[in-house]
Chain A
């Protein structure tokens, strides 16, 4: 086993892998720093590029991208009061007031150190917890997996959205789109409308780029064309105490960082909650614990530390359900499933048996990405700050062109570009009508696993409808799903009737 672990870490240290992780971290910080561009959007745009990399380099590149984007989001939050990513919103509450006081650089350094600390904590938890959990998960059969996916989709639809009805409809729509293509048992085309290109199914790339990047840019352009760009507050004091975080200041924040990292790790390990929930929760808890809560929101380091440590801790923790159960914790993890599949691997507990070396290479890449983030952040902080001033009128056309070429690159298929535009169109309306496109994407990704487990249940039980009654874990999971759905729908009726 030690040999496998060592071989995995040596793979991670391959010069080409190091280069791709570094490029991923830099690209992620730049993408996150640009208001309106977030980690998932950057991952969706870069998945086609990962086709040309080795599996370890590809996942390392995408993981680096995601980590970089989490920190990058705080740059525009602190300097523009416009969080580059939703999870950086809580960082702006104290970061922007600090920038107004001329301590923008200090706020960003705090965000960087908190991000690295939170991320390192969750990576250690992932390494320690994932393998034992995967061993337990191996005892789960198709009925349990089927029930678990039902529960995961319900939780994602309920917790990740304002309305469970809309979330479930979006997830069901995603599953429906996931059924387009070859039916797994009869191997005959299903719902292809006699379009031969659909017979191979719809890949994640056009959906990811169309829904996460293209439609988002179109919606942001509506705002930009109406209101113009946000003004930048670039005010850096030259005093060292206003620029740097001293060791004493960092040591004084250790408890805050630890509490926030634990909160972020727990939230990240649960499907559906996501980084914004973690950062708001950690910020709120820190404010309640503080002896001077009135100073929060006026430029307090604890606020930035709590928010950033919590949201960055989600990155590693969201891989726990992915590696142990094959269920993505958030949309970035969902996109990583697509990247795994592209490279011939199915995320889940079997990966620890079949691709153990690869898993440890990913662990190595996670640690390396964290070290690179610290180095890149420290060296290039001021350069990254200039990125937030990139004019949208230049940036948005470039992103639109990249979306189109990215969709084409995946399989050199013009049809994929058409699909990307179609799903951008669908996502535009979903966003306008408050349907969560993240639920759609997760439903789409889970559809094949869901269908396969259902097929296995029915075939192995010889079409016995009471099969689930013989599996206590599956019954419990289905009962929880049913309870969550009924309770949420009842709550929605009560709210509507009491308004």
Chain B
């Protein structure tokens, strides 16, 4: 995907999202006007309106640029607008986010220490740790220190 394609995709998404907010989400989830001061929906409407206008402007700019400027080969582009962009790595994102999402429910079912240990081992594996002894030592050390700090140091109710 080139930078221009990526920009069009994201600005189009923002424009559509802003439209949805203006037409549906803000009216549906804002309290009615109390009869004095400013309507509760004014500031959300203004900010979403700004996002809509700016994203449409960006789309217009990209369209004009596409129509009026002679297309160049990637290596000729001075601004680098046609270069390949840094890719979104969904699998990479998922393999770190999913264990994090599961950690809190796991702590409620299994307890802080077992769930924390399993979590630390899984995350270390995803980070590239393949040596079992350092992995276990880091997991036990980190979970133990945080447990002691939360339970005995700060007196925090455990998750």
Q: Residues of A with Cβ closer than 8 Å to B?
A: 52, 165, 168-169, 172-173, 175-176, 179, 183, 185-186, 188-193, 218, 221-222, 224-225, 392-394, 396-398, 400-402, 404-405, 408-409, 412, 414, 417-418, 421, 424-425, 428-429, 432-433, 447, 450-451, 454-455, 458-459, 489, 492-493, 495-499
Contact = CB atoms under 8 A, between A and B. Distances in A.
Nearest to B50: A172
Interface residues of B, number: 68
Contact of B120 (A176, A179, A401, A459): A401
B50 A447 contact: no
Interface centre among B21, B31, B54 (most CB of A within 10 A): B54
Interface of B: 6, 10, 14, 21, 25-26, 29-31, 34, 36-38, 40-44, 47-48, 50-51, 54-55, 57-58, 61-62, 64-65, 68-69, 77-79, 81, 85-89, 92-93, 96-97, 100-101, 103-104, 108, 116, 119-120, 123-124, 127-129, 134, 138, 142-143, 146, 150, 154, 156-157, 159
A186 B36 CA distance: 9
Contact of A412 (B48, B96, B156): B156
A401 B143 CA distance: 9
Given A397-B127, A405-B146, A496-B64, A186 B34 contact: yes
A52 B128 contact: no
6 closest Cβ pairs, A-B complex: A188-B31, A183-B40, A185-B37, A496-B65, A397-B123, A186-B34
Contacts of A191: 25-26, 29-30, 44
A409 B146 CA distance: 11
19 contacts: A172-B50, A179-B47, A186-B34, A186-B40, A189-B31, A190-B40, A191-B26, A192-B29, A218-B93, A225-B92, A225-B127, A404-B103, A428-B88, A428-B93, A432-B87, A458-B37, A489-B57, A497-B61, A499-B78
B157 to A, nearest CB: 6
A392 B69 CA distance: 45
Q: Chain B interface secondary structure, helix, strand, loop or mixed? A: helix
Given A393-B124, A412-B156, A221 B92 contact: yes
A421 B88 contact: no
B142 A401 contact: yes
Nearest to A177: B47
B31 A52 contact: no
A169 B159 contact: no
A188 B32 CA distance: 9
Given A397-B124, A409-B154, A455-B37, A222 B92 contact: yes
A52 B119 CA distance: 27
Contacts of A189: 31
Interface centre among A417, A433, A489 (most CB of B within 10 A): A433
Given A398-B138, A409-B150, A169 B37 contact: no
A397 B146 CA distance: 14
B37 to A, nearest CB: 4
B138 to A, nearest CB: 5
A458 B54 CA distance: 26
Contacts of A492: 61
